[in-house]
Chains A and B, each alone.
Chain A
Amino acid sequence: MKSVSYERANSPAEAAAAAARTPRAKFIAGGTNLLDLMKLEIETPSHLIDVNRLDLAKIEPTSDGGLRIGALVRNTDLAADPRVRRDYGVLARALLAGASGQLRNKATTAGNLLQRTRCPYFYDTDQPCNKRRPGAGCAAIGGFSRQHAVIGASDACIATHPSDMAVAMRALDATVETIRPDGATRNVPIAEFYRLPGETPEIETTLAPDELITAVTLPKPVGGKQIYRKVRDRASYAFALVSVAAIVQRDGSGSVALGGVAHKPWRLEAADAELPRGARATTALLLGDAKPTRENAFKLTLAERTLGAVLAAAKG
């Protein structure tokens, strides 16, 4: 049996220090993704650092009028928070579009950001996958790719990021707060948090191995109509084919991020500027560099039409 050592961290810096001194360590919070992957032997950590007892489960106002969401705030609690529901509706809606009630009760804010792709070849340990075994190759390329990325993919990986929450966070310009073993903290804009796969698809974020997420902060509320529209094959409990997180102001300006199309929540600030001109103009820029496969080319049409419906709803 693969043995896993376990420790419970007493402070964020101590958790980061534990990660620094233990090779192949993983932080564990809700465990809704990590434990599944461990059972399938896709993730094989040798050490688990339990961060659940850390004091990171609060939602508090920031000095500049925004909101600081502790890393351990459960998805259910975040979606139900009155401030989130009032000022960041796109986030509450995205959270409720994801997973199931039971999973949202366990899943945390930081864990949601860090969940792994649902590429079926990533999940099949009898198939090569560069995320699982760097350099092994990618079975998804040339295989069944209906769910896969249409933009920002590489010759090494065409996986998508599965989170709904992160797409809303991207539209909201959230910032990820982290801590290192020496207590040093930094604020990573979510735009710089995720990486495209490139040649190293196993490295999914700009976090250092010994860096722990402590919070996600949202800027001062921007108002506007905030819509999250998730399109999928069944009505619930499925990952997005395409999702749209949009914040649309009365004058038609705003921000838009897409889920289900790339290795990360997909947003181009230049495309935001096209929002007043409508869905076609916006997606033309947003997905202008798309290189879809025959099986997932429909995502381009779907993204445009879904954004069209979102913009129409924002007006109404």
Chain B
Amino acid sequence: MKFDSPATTNAIDQLKVIGQPVSRIDGPRKTTGTAPYAFERHDAVPDPAYGYVVGSAISKGRIDAIDLTAAKTAPGVLAVVTADNAGKLAKGSRNFAALLGGPDIEHYHQAIAVVVAETFEQARAAAQLVKVDYSRAEGVFELAAVADAGNPAEGNSGPADTQVGDFSGAFAAAPVKLDATYTTPDEAHAMMEPHASTAAWNGETLTVWTSNQMIDWGATDLAETLGIAREKVRLISPFIGGGFGGKLFLRADALLAALGARAAGRPVKVALHRPLMFNNTTHRPATIQRIRLGATKDGKITAIGHECWSGNLPGGKPEAAVEQTRLLYAGANRMTNIRLSALDLPEGNAMRAPGEASGMMALEIAIDEMAEKLGLDPVEFRILNDTQVDPEKPQRPFSLRRFTECFETGAARFGWSKRNAQPGKVRDGNWLVGLGTAAAFRNNLLTKSAARVRLDGRGVVTVETDMTDIGTGSYTIIAQTAAEMMGVPLEKVVVHLGDSTFPVSAGSGGQWGGNNSTAGVYAACMKLREAVAQRLGFNSAEADFIDGQVRSGTRSVPLVQAAGDIELVAEDGIEYGDLGKMVQQSTFGAHFVEVGVDTATAEIRVRRMLAVCSAGRILNPKTARSQVIGAMTMGVGAALMEELVVDKRHGFFVNHDLAGYEVPVHADIPHQDVIFLDETDPMSSPMKAKGIAELGICGVAAAVANAIYNATGVRVRDYPITLDKLLPRLPEVG
């Protein structure tokens, strides 16, 4: 189905199932431990051998020699695979560093061997016996040292540089201006389930039970890396214990399980052990960002400039932190640019709202600082500079932008008017209390997505698509879509996901999964409705599918009759025309945060949070709310504690486990409120929905930072905002 004109009234608009706060249909399996994850597929592979991954102990250089003698003769060892004996390996198009390194080493803990043994303990013990001689090479590990020499690099959806009007002239002439530099650190996805795969060969055919957000990318890149045909690889990934972008791509677990299984001649499972994950896999790259704002005295932005610098392995991409600035605020004179330097740290790549999450961390502090310079309330300043068109291309309107309403709704709900604009003035016992706000912004991305739908003789509708559920609620919203479309209750829908033999979907990433995958199911259901109508003798354009019946005029036939003994099957997908080019599709929000800062220790604790979201139709308010409060929690982590600390001498992330890399715990997260503006965006898809999962994180950290400033009068521009950054400037204990 081609979607190239705005959606009109359709079956989804009935909202009998869609839009209802349905509990996730996979919930009982997860809470009873009966949802099988990749490392526990005993059902499919009863007797696997275990692979344990050996990571490089240096960041850059060469392996001079590997001595496998002791490891190979250790008890239970079946095989040891290294780059020397793995056979010829290519590199998947989405990997920058080799997943099995050697002799050249590209980053710390790059996999250099997998030891396969009868038991996990035997594999782990033998892995310690792999003796490696390295020659270290000089590496570049510090972004700040090389940022100035960075090269222009394209963003996720735009060019390296943009310019509109005369930025330098307007900035120089502006009566009120801000020129500030901000930094964000490297961050880890730190999902609960590690990267894990179980691989089994049947002749030339490979099956991998894995944990991957993008099944088609994974299968394609695994086939390419192994040099076998795509059709010979099957990926199965029905349940995923979190990804956040860390499982978008083929990673070492899947490749090494496949290689290990081939070498051992039996199925092998591999999980990356937690201390290896942080340097072996991908992370959100650190940024340095300079923001310049110029405004008239009454608060109209006349000049807006945003530059960002990040680093990555050769071939890697930048953390494109300026792209939201191209779209978020009005202003006639604009410039942005993206610069990228080569670093020898582990591979940087997408993490929840790549680019925008980092960019909003900086931009939304800058906006707060500018509002203060102007003597304007930060909510008022943002509303004053709202725009209904793409500010770089004013002929392109936003499809739907209720930015102002997000702030007005949120300010009223949060009690924003009680905020004392003068920082450091509100005390509650030993706490300095402050309020902060920030905008949320994330683009809505359109990606084609397909599905297959079956109707059987019992009236059960089965959906098959390679879409994944990474904890987001995909199973549930897909079931709701099929139920709505076919006019059956939710209990009559079965959803199968995450199998590369199913039609290729959008997958999970970039907050594109919800809208696109359900639109694909919509398309397949439209085709199934046609088949049903034809079989039952209805004109499909006139037939309604309601309450298990197919109706037209006075005639009504049970849906189940359409299948009879022969199952009806339909397959289709959604594809997008030029609507996304003619209009700008984005999602918007406003975050409000209250923090307390301990007057003595500068410990920072979030006390209240609110997010207001304008994100098209909310397909399921319950799962959508879960996405947003999870994202808000992640934003608190980014604001207050998350940082992969670089050892600048040796080039690796030092705090590479969940004790050292702190993410918020329950005690850090207070009551969280989420409001969804009631709306539909007919330009997005027949579902009229947009993404929500990444909108929720964008701006949160800045709202926390702004609240800390309001509480203490101390402005911190380097994340995370830990107490040591406040202490030197905190008022004396009174």
Contact = CB atoms under 8 A, between A and B. Distances in A.
A238 B430 contact: no
Nearest to B56: A126
A65 interface: no
A241 B598 CA distance: 15
A238 B662 contact: yes
A234 B668 contact: yes
A294 to B, nearest CB: 11
A126 B605 contact: no
A121 interface: yes
Contact of A233 (B647, B650, B723): B723
A126 B723 contact: no
Given A1-B75, A233-B640, A302-B723, A126 B57 contact: yes
Contacts of A238: 662
Interface stretch (A10-18, A82-90, A248-256, A304-312): A304-312
A306 B601 contact: yes
A124 B278 CA distance: 12
B724 A1 contact: no
B654 A40 contact: no
Interface string A117-131: 010110111110000
Nearest to A100: B665
The B contact surface, by secondary structure, is loop
A202 B645 CA distance: 26
A126 B109 CA distance: 9
A298 interface: yes
Contacts of B122: 1
Most B C-beta atoms less than 10 A away, residue of A127, A229, A233: A233
Contacts of B76: 1
Given A1-B75, A1-B121, A241-B723, A305 B665 contact: no
A46 to B, nearest CB: 13
Interface in B594-623: 598-603, 605
Interface string B717-733: 00000111001100001
A41 B667 contact: no
A301 B722 CA distance: 14
Nearest to B430: A309
Interface residues of B, number: 47
Contact of A235 (B654, B655, B668, B723): B668
Interface in B661-680: 662, 664-668
A62 interface: no
Interface string A30-58: 00000000011100000000000000000
A123 B273 CA distance: 13
A144 B655 contact: yes
B53 to A, nearest CB: 13
Interface in B27-78: 55, 57, 74-76
A26 to B, nearest CB: 17
A285 to B, nearest CB: 20
A293 B677 CA distance: 50
Contact of B665 (A229, A235, A298, A309): A235
Given A1-B122, A235-B605, A235-B668, A309 B657 contact: no
Contacts of B728: 298, 301
A65 B605 CA distance: 41
A157 interface: no
A234 B664 contact: yes
A283 to B, nearest CB: 13
Given A1-B121, A305-B727, A308-B733, A231 B647 contact: no
Nearest to A44: B128
Nearest to B733: A308
B119 A236 contact: no
B649 interface: yes
Contacts of B108: 126
Interface in A99-148: 118, 120-121, 123-127, 139, 142-144, 146
Nearest to A242: B601
B146 to A, nearest CB: 20
Contacts of B600: 305-306, 308-309
A309 B75 contact: no
B665 A237 contact: yes
B662 A233 contact: yes
Interface in A216-259: 229, 231-239, 241
Interface string B87-130: 00000000000000000000011000000000101101110100
Contacts of A302: 601-602, 723-724, 727
B641 interface: yes
B657 A123 contact: yes
A302 B727 CA distance: 8
B394 interface: no
A2 interface: yes
A305 B731 CA distance: 11
Contacts of A2: 125
Interface size, A (range): 35 or more
B656 A231 contact: no
Given A123-B275, A235-B605, A308-B600, A298 B645 contact: no
B659 interface: yes
A93 B666 CA distance: 20
Contacts of A298: 723-724, 727-728
A233 B598 CA distance: 12
B375 interface: no
Contact of B641 (A234, A239, A301): A234
Most A C-beta atoms less than 10 A away, residue of B122, B126, B659: B659
A234 B665 contact: yes
Given A1-B119, A2-B125, A121 B727 contact: no
B733 A144 contact: no
Contacts of A1: 74-76, 119, 121-122, 124-126
A41 B602 CA distance: 37
Interface in A124-179: 124-127, 139, 142-144, 146
B558 interface: no
B227 interface: no
A301 B602 CA distance: 11
Contacts of B654: 120-121, 124, 143-144
Interface string A275-310: 000000000000000000000001001100110110
A143 B647 contact: yes
A235 B667 contact: yes
Interface string A52-75: 000000000000000000000000
B725 to A, nearest CB: 9
Nearest to A279: B733
A145 to B, nearest CB: 10
B660 interface: yes
Nearest to B646: A144
B128 A144 contact: no
Nearest to A239: B659
Contacts of A241: 723-724
Nearest to A125: B128
A182 B682 CA distance: 84
28 contacts: A1-B75, A1-B76, A1-B122, A41-B125, A41-B128, A120-B655, A123-B660, A125-B128, A139-B647, A143-B647, A143-B649, A144-B645, A144-B647, A146-B645, A231-B601, A231-B723, A234-B665, A234-B667, A235-B605, A235-B667, A241-B723, A241-B724, A298-B723, A301-B728, A302-B601, A306-B600, A309-B430, A309-B598
The 10 A-B residue pairs with the shortest CB-CB distance, nearest first, are A309-B600, A235-B667, A126-B57, A298-B724, A236-B667, A1-B122, A144-B654, A1-B125, A305-B600, A231-B601
Interface of A: 1-2, 39-41, 118, 120-121, 123-127, 139, 142-144, 146, 229, 231-239, 241, 298, 301-302, 305-306, 308-309, 312
Given A126-B55, A126-B108, 6 more contacts: A121-B654, A126-B109, A143-B650, A237-B665, A238-B662, A298-B723
Interface of B: 55, 57, 74-76, 108-109, 119, 121-122, 124-126, 128, 275, 430, 598-603, 605, 640-641, 645, 647, 649-650, 654-657, 659-660, 662, 664-668, 722-724, 727-728, 733
